Amino acid sequence: MTIPEKLYPRSGDKQTIYLKNAITKPNISVGDYTMYNDFVNDPTAFENNNVLYHYPVNHDKLQIGKFCSLACGVRFLFNSANHSSKSLSTYPFPIFWEEWQGSPADVASAWDNKGDIDIGNDVWLGYEAVVLAGVTIGDGAIIGARAVVTRDIPPYTIAAGVPARPIRKRFDEPTIARLQQLQWWNWPLERIAANLAAIQSGQIEKLS
């Protein structure tokens, strides 16, 4: 088995794509088999419609792992969406440096830089969920529809709400530890296929 290079994994379905094959920007990386569905806009416009305020001046990155599922309207808000909270004013004076006798080198001081966005493997992001700059979402997590994720979410945790808060773990701690040790998403594709029934039925003891 080989990793598919096709954009549309399902015959006749132009709403669902293998996201990796639609990415062109060097500061966005997406793992194999991660899918994005969009029934409102063209899913291939993901970089422009869903990755927002992601300007090269910041050098911030969006990293999404393998086998993730991104529902329609999921958005990632990067650092340039912020206004500096340290300033006495929230007005972004450095952006308008020509007006205020500033320098283009100071533009990035207009906002707080909270870092990259890192999405693990096998993560499901629900309809219109929003992930803010600086957030890490662990492997196997589930983010509810229209949640706003402002803080890190641990692996295999279900989180929802505004702001998103952990609701419960998907499995007990020994099972989570075993899954993180196995990292099935990094297995050869033939091994994944051979274990698919056990994966889908939740029988970790049958993985081989």
CA-to-CA distance for 124 and 129, rounded, in angstroms?
Answer: 10
pLDDT tens per residue across span 129-139: 999 999 999 99
**What CATH number belongs to 16-83+111-170?**
2.160.10.10
What predicted TM-score, i.e. pTM, was given to this entire model? Answer: 0.94
Average confidence score pLDDT of the chain: 95
Catalytic annotation, residues: 83
pLDDT of 1: 55
Domain boundaries, the chain: 16-83+111-170, 171-208
Contact 24, 7 (CB under 8 A): no
pLDDT tens per residue across span 12-24: 999 999 999 999 9
Average pLDDT per 10 consecutive residues for the chain, totaling 208 residues? 82 97 97 98 98 92 98 96 89 91 86 94 98 98 98 98 98 96 96 96 92
Q: What is the dihedral of CA 11, 183, 119, 128, to 10 degrees?
A: 50
Contact 131, 75 (CB under 8 A): yes
Which residues does residue 62 pair with via DSSP β-bridges, in sequence order?
Answer: 28, 117
Q: Report residue 66: phi and psi, to 5°.
A: -85, 155
